[in-house]
Amino acid sequence: MKKAASTSALLPAGDGSDKRRYADQAYDKLESMISTLLLRPGAPIVESELIEHTGLGRTPTREALMRLVASGLIVQQPRRGLLVSDIRLAEHLDLLEARRVLERLIASTSARRATPQQRDDLLDCARQMVAAAQASDLPAYMAADQALDHVNHAACRNPFAVAAVIPMAIQCRRFWYAYQHQGDMSEGARCHLALAQAVAEGEPNAAAAASDALLDYLRQFAQAVIA
């Protein structure tokens, strides 16, 4: 693997918005590594390796790590440094219960506030999930799921709800990936498509109901794993 370029070489001169975008890119890459178990629960965080992996330099990678620590996806332990947090089966149903409330709010608000382009993008992401499920392409399914969340979060324009739900969504993606053999990609894709369609049609009540149906499925999946 090639050595990553320095931060100064990667970050163009300009205002803080440039650095913000690079930090977001680093966060997305590290989130994907955690949710797809490239960074496994309990694994130590080696900053130099992550900087090389993201290719975005030390500053945005460190900022992304700080956000992941704040969200509980990475933990800091005395004398052991930073570690990827464990998957806690006993707590996952509580997480889903809290996520249900936030996702319902986000979905109904997106149905009211999304731009025409965001409505189209949500449908496109959901259709990519359906196609990936039909092809049994888990990496494509996970990528489309992450992209759909990004569009939905931007569309709702409620940064407080989004900040609270993002760590939960990542935990759910990691849980799904870890126990994928007990899941049903087709059903997951169908639930996401119903949500995207309700938002695209500007139907807040239908979007909220579709969000509840998705969380019902995720809860059933989690219960099967725990059992």
- pTM for this entry: 0.79
Q: What's the total number of domains in the chain? A: 2
State the virtual CA torsion across 22, 85, 220, 131 in degrees, nearest 10: 30
- 65-78 confidence digits (pLDDT tens): 888 888 888 988 87
Same domain, 215 and 118: yes
d(CA 176, CA 171): 9
Q: What pLDDT was estimated at residue 81?
A: 83
pLDDT digits (tens, 9 = 90+) for 78-129: 777 889 988 888 889 999 999 999 999 999 999 999 999 999 999 999 999 9
Q: What is the CATH number of the domain that holds 182?
A: 1.20.120.530
Q: What is the pLDDT of residue 18?
A: 52
Domain boundary among 23, 54, 84: 84
The CATH number for 53's domain is 1.10.10.10
Residue 162: inside a domain: yes
**In a domain? residue 1:** no
Asked if 112 and 197 sit in the same domain, the reply is yes
| Residue 139 CB neighbours (<10 A) | 11
Residue 74 phi, psi (nearest 5): -125, 140
- Amino acid letter, 48: S
Range of the domain at 41: 7-84
Tokens 């490239």 correspond to what residue? Answer: 38
What gap in Å lies between CA 149 and CA 155, rounded to an integer?
10
The tokens for 189 are 């894709």
Angle 53-57-62 from CA coordinates, rounded to 5°: 90
Residues (pLDDT < 70) of the chain are 1-20
